[in-house]
Amino acid sequence: MKNPEDYQSGWTQTIINPKTGLPCSGGAARNIRLAQTGGAEALFNAGGVNALNQVTPLVQQLQAQLATAQLFNQEMARRLERGGVKRSVK
């Protein structure tokens, strides 16, 4: 078997050909399934969208942390400009 991953994921298992109504398997079944998903480009794009969806929450969390840090830095800059930061000497 050339592509055991295709078989294990179900791509080459038996399917009914929608044009002929006959069962087919192997490369023909893979080609039908690939066509039903919109072709190789659609499958590739779906993988990219999936990866982006997994990274999005992390990016949102980092943006929230950055916004908090910017507010903190702005407040510290205001205090420094007013001379409101007192240093303790030991």
Question: In the chain, what percentage of residues exceed pLDDT 70?
Answer: 91
CB atoms within 10 A of CB 57: 9
Least confident of 21-25, 53-57, 70-74, 80-84: 80-84
pLDDT in tens, 39-57: 777 777 878 888 989 999 9
Identify the pLDDT of residue 66. 96
> Using 50, 70 and 90 to split pLDDT, how confident is the model at 58?
very high
Q: Do residues 12 and 34 lie in contact, with contact meaning Cβ atoms separated by under 8 Å?
A: no
Query: Rounded to 5 degrees, what angle do the CA atoms 11, 41, 13 make?
Result: 5
pTM for this prediction: 0.45
Q: What is the pLDDT of residue 39?
A: 77
Indicate the DSSP class of residue 15: E
| 3, 43, 51 from 33: Cα distances, Å | 15, 11, 22
